[in-house]
Amino acid sequence: MYDKIHLRLATPQDVPVILTFIQGLAEYERLSDQVVATEEKLQQTLFGHKAYAEVVIAEYDGKAAGFALFFHNYSTFLAKPGIYLEDLFVLPEYRGKGLGRVLLSYLAKLAVERDCGRLEWSVLDWNQPAIDFYQAQGATMLHDWRINRVTGASLQQLAAKYTVS
């Protein structure tokens, strides 16, 4: 089964498929209305002058079947970088073939090679299949932590409060 799986780092030519994966993930997570990503924005932020994230494409039998988009964060407690997995998505027709497991284990290997202290990500609380999958891979759910986010107008308002020069 795994002999049909091939992982590779994404290239600028993969931007259309990356956007398709992002849209597929958003549809699965019932968040399609929140996707404002475009090919142009992805080209700039993933492959432009300053790349903000990296992407691994999973191919199955020569066809793009899934992806993992990740970036580095930092743990002050460990004094080490970490890898934050922003998105992991496998097209429905390729699920159950081991692509998610291979992508996650690749990121763990990359974290070890880059001397990272951890690999982490978020999962929606209703997504029990993903929770079960992640726990089967050895992940621990951090029940005491809550994600905080500031976006849109709230981000603009908070930024406007900065007055120190």
Residues involved in catalysis: 134
Helices vs strands, H then E, count in the chain: 5, 5
Q: How far apart are CA 55 and CA 13, in angstroms?
A: 12
Q: Say if strands 63-75 and 80-90 run parallel, antiparallel, or are unpaired.
A: antiparallel
Using an 8 Å Cβ cutoff, are 9 and 18 in contact?
no
Residues 6+ apart with CB under 8 A from 52: 45, 46, 71
Q: To which residue do tokens 């690749």 refer?
A: 106
- Helical pair 39-47 and 15-28, crossing angle rounded to 10 deg: 110
